[in-house]
Chains A and B, each alone.
Chain A
Amino acid sequence: MSELTARFNVVFPSFHLKVKASVPAEGITVVFGPSGCGKTTLLRCLAGLERAPDGFLALGEQVWQDEAHNIFLPLSHRPVGYVFQESRLFPHQSVRSNLLYGWKRIPKSERRISLDQVVGILGLDSLLERRPTHLSGGEQQRVAIGRALLTSPRLLLMDEPLSSLDVQRKREIMTFIQRLDKEFRIPIIYVSHALHEVVQLARTLILLKEGSVAAIGPLAEVFSQVGSRRVIPDSHIGAVIDTRVAGHDVEFGLTTLTFSGGHLSVPHQHSSIGESLRVQILARDVSLVASPPAFQTSVLNVLVATVMEIGPIEPDQPFVDIKLDIGCPLLATITRKSLAILQLHPGQKVHAQIKAVALTHDSLD
């Protein structure tokens, strides 16, 4: 599997971008961090819009920048698609001309994506003859995505493409972006400061903090590290699990999801059986029971778990994170007092009661 390898070290007036990272050139890699941490700058370095001295950048075997050997391809020579925060459509051209602008400029032999395909998947049929100024924000952003796709890029860069849109449009375009990954198999680097986008879209996660990489790796791993509290807000700590719809219980209005650790019952989902669904189990929604619950519980999802790791204990913090194995990693936040009462230690078998399962596709607001 080919990789995107980047090494940048640039001092800007306001901050210092220092990134050394390798991510799989596959699926969606989300670059996450608070505003001003250097996400957009990193993306601009990847595109070649900023030139990092001593920088290095390669996609698989293709080297785009290697200052040690004086190699630097300008953006117009890189097989990269760039979707900006604002759509940046050309105001003097119709939607069709905008879409075909890049397409006309790549060699015929490299045209892997056709206008019809893009118009179909992005639903642009009725917009083709219009001017960009007569489009809504969501429509403009869809055209911008389509325009970038039509250059058949080897890498798609997206800079918070949803930030200017309302919730309804966000949901719509997010679905498009997930389909892009599946239908065109173009690796995407997606910059975001919204955690729900991260949880729903990311396969790989790069956490940026003040210009440096604070954590990097597959989403599930980064989210189930006991140290993640340092980089992820408390309210979002918790394992992310990819599941499939196994069945519906019409009588009780429930849907059963299956994953590597067993089954989960969630409120009814409008998804067909076999469909994949990503869920997050927030650490604060998981409680631990040392022996099997002797009395009955209202919690439906109780899973056998092995204690893997007990998070760092901070004297000024009443809580501690526990990493469990339920066939896949699971995080639980409990009080230090509970930790003492249960006398938890790595290797111990416990029961994890899961009070709520967050379905990432409706956590957009």
Chain B
Amino acid sequence: MTPSEVDLGPLWLTLRLAGVTVIVLLIIGTPLAWWLAHTRSRARTAIEAIVAMPLVLPPTVLGFYLLVLLGPYGWIGSASQAITGSALSFTFTGLVMASALYSLPFVVQPLHSAFESIGRKPLEAAWSLRASKLDTFLTIVSPMASRGYLTAIVLGFAHTLGEFGVVLMVGGNIPGRTKVLSIAIYDHVEVLEYTQAHILSAGLLIFSFLVLLMVYTVNRRLPIHVS
């Protein structure tokens, strides 16, 4: 069997899932991390704990509750069914939502600590130079937090690549829709197709190494050392 006969569908699906998940997480994670870094609210500790939950929860537990929530009888699933005509379990959208929740701490925590180490001082300086809050965020905070963003993106992406339990629970194993790489490898191993399993696994291994290598190289060359 040659590599060309290996079904690469799961690979593209996985990359797409990880990419979309990271984008969603940056959009949600930035304001959340900002709030955590700057709020004096008492709710902060509770929110921090909730964000960290996926770190300690077995993926199957998370997957199970998500399946219930996103399915046709869950709150979110039934709302989706009313609007779009279908529930979210066993769909790509459902997978993105599940992955985002599962990888949330890997994006929020690096951003949170980046924002915290920048502190209030540069912000006050920017305000005194007539910059609005949004302007300050775009021109001062985000460049100063670039290492935090890089870490968040890589960890979020890599963590989504490797997830298995949540995906299996929420997405099932539908080729082209929810069958991601880790599940495809599992399937191959189960029917003793070790060659295909090897090709996919080695591919993922090399890809992960290259990504991390690139990140560390870029990180070393970044001009800003905030922390």
Contacts and interface: CB of A to CB of B under 8 A. Distances in A.
B75 interface: no
B224 A92 contact: yes
Contacts of B221: none
Q: Is the interface of A mostly helix, strand, loop or mixed?
A: loop
Nearest to B124: A49
Interface string A60-77: 000000000000001111
A162 interface: no
Nearest to B225: A91
B131 interface: yes
B130 interface: yes
Contacts of B217: none
A333 interface: no
Interface in A241-275: none
B125 A151 contact: no
Given A49-B124, A82-B125, A86-B121, A91 B130 contact: no
A4 to B, nearest CB: 17
Nearest to A81: B128
Interface in A28-84: 47, 49, 74-77, 80-82, 84
Contacts of A148: 128-129
A319 interface: no
Nearest to B140: A90
A139 to B, nearest CB: 17
Given A75-B124, A101-B126, A92 B223 contact: yes
A152 to B, nearest CB: 10
Interface in B94-127: 121-122, 124-127
Report the contact-size class of chain A (Cβ under 8 Å from the partner).
20 to 34
Given A84-B121, A91-B226, A101 B131 contact: yes
A81 B127 CA distance: 10
A303 to B, nearest CB: 47
B86 interface: no
B143 interface: yes
Nearest to A131: B223
A182 interface: no
Residue among A77, A82, A91, A131 with max Cβ neighbours from chain B (10 Å): A91
Contact of B127 (A76, A91, A92, A131): A76
Contacts of B224: 91-92
Of B122, B126, B128, B144, which is in contact with the most chain A CB atoms at under 10 Å from its CB? B128
B132 interface: yes
Interface in B179-227: 223-226
B129 A151 contact: yes
B218 to A, nearest CB: 15
A147 interface: yes
A75 B128 contact: yes
Contact of A92 (B129, B130, B135, B144): B144
A75 B127 contact: yes
A93 B68 CA distance: 50
Given A89-B125, A90-B144, 10 more contacts: A76-B130, A76-B131, A82-B128, A88-B124, A90-B140, A91-B225, A91-B226, A92-B223, A105-B130, A148-B129
Q: Which 4 A-B pairs have the closest CB atoms?
A: A102-B129, A82-B128, A105-B130, A88-B125
Interface of A: 47, 49, 74-77, 80-82, 84, 86, 88-92, 101-102, 105-106, 131, 147-148, 151
18 contacts: A49-B124, A75-B128, A76-B127, A76-B131, A82-B124, A84-B121, A84-B124, A84-B125, A86-B121, A88-B121, A90-B122, A90-B125, A90-B126, A90-B144, A91-B144, A91-B225, A101-B131, A105-B130
